[in-house]
Amino acid sequence: MFSNDQIQVIHALKSIARDQRIKRYIQQSEDLYPLLFRAAQRFVAGDTREHGISKGLELLNKGYAISLEYIGENTRTAEDCFQAKDEFLTLISEAGRHLISPTISFDLSHIGLSVDRELAFSNVNELAEAATKNGLSLMISMEESEKTEAIIEIYKRAAETYSNVGITIQAHLHRAMNDILELLDYPGKIRIVKGAYQESPEIMLPRSEELNERYLQLVDLLATKNHPVSIATHDEVIIEEVRRRGYLKQANTECEMLYGIRSDLMQRLKADGYQARVYLTYGTEWYLYLCHRLAEYPENIYAAIADIVEPNRTNKTSY
């Protein structure tokens, strides 16, 4: 799938993605932040909530459903977690007013998991209560494997009260099938992704035919039980196979892709009458997100360099 050189670049990008010193340095640099932000803007709606909502409206008007995230993860102090939670509460209230049934997506470590599990749980409950009042859904993202257990446990507790909370499962983890079998007992939507984090080979499959097979098995399990599922991939082979199996016609099944990636495929799915959801992010914490998008598809590095050197080029993504 990838050449050896590409694999080395992917590993390097995934490890600098986790380097908090580099992240802080870029965020505080008056020179580097605006330069790299030009590259991030291919994948990120902007650095403010207004940017997120206005891009969301533009996509809604074109017939897409929306997921919206205020980006961030691994928040280290309770005070910063409360600030992030408050931003999500404002987002829920504004998105509820301006956008039709968006899903609000977030990392649990953005709102408490890296400080204290109970803090994360109580913040999720507060967001879920607000989302219920505003007619919205929440989707919990999945993070590095050392957090998987805690994320699933918090999801289960929240899902006992709130049916509008969903969870993301990474097909690349060997535990994915068992996790989904347990999660079938809960009402929330399950978003299946391949997995963005670098993990050891003992616990995960790399990108491969075997991983695609496993991804499809997970979809089979959910779709045949008519459990709400988001097919969150840009892999056309998987999407075609899911379509061939007839699942995309089910009301509970949708395709979801990250903003800025395979918009051509999204356009086709929407034109064919399938549910197509675009995942939009905003905020200043785009560093890790940008590194992951470059690592997944190293050709994006060329586009990133061109975006930095020539920010006003016109051939950016259109929906």
CB-nearer residue toward ligand FDA: 85 or 194: 194
Given the structure tokens 């949708």, which residue do they identify?
A: 254
Could you say whether residue 74 binds ligand FDA (CB under 6 A)? no
Under DSSP, the state recorded for 145 is G
3-class secondary structure, 298: coil
Part of the chain binding ligand FDA (CB under 6 A), chosen from 115-123, 193-201, 218-226, 305-313:
193-201
Query: Which of positions 288-317 make contact with ligand FDA (CB under 6 A)?
Result: 293, 296-297, 300
Task: Quote the tokens at residue 8.
Answer: 């080395």
Under DSSP, the state recorded for 137 is E
User: CB 300 → ligand FDA: shortest distance, Å?
Assistant: 5
Could you say whether residue 123 binds ligand FDA (CB under 6 A)? no
Among 87, 235, 267, 298, binds ligand FDA (CB under 6 A): 235
Judged by CB under 6 A, the number of residues near ligand FDA is 24
Could you say whether residue 196 binds ligand FDA (CB under 6 A)? yes
Could you say whether residue 233 binds ligand FDA (CB under 6 A)? yes
User: CB 263 → ligand FDA: shortest distance, Å?
Assistant: 10
User: Residue 257 pairs with which residues in a beta bridge?
Assistant: 278
CB-nearer residue toward ligand FDA: 131 or 176: 176
To 5 degrees, how large is the angle CA 123–CA 259–CA 45? 70
CA distances from 250 to 216, 255, 314 (A): 16, 11, 37
Among 72, 96, 188, 195, binds ligand FDA (CB under 6 A): 195
Could you say whether residue 216 binds ligand FDA (CB under 6 A)? no
Return phi, psi of residue 180, to 5°: -65, -40
CB-nearer residue toward ligand FDA: 68 or 89: 68
3-class secondary structure, 99: coil
**200 Cβ contact partners less than 8 Å away, ≥ 6 residues apart:** none
Among 45, 167, 258, 304, binds ligand FDA (CB under 6 A): 258
CB 165 within 8 A of CB 138: yes
SS3 content of the chain, % helix, strand, coil (to 5): 55, 15, 35
Interacting residue ranges for ligand FDA, rule: CB under 6 A: 141-142, 168, 170, 193-197, 207, 232-235, 256-258, 261-262, 279, 293, 296-297, 300
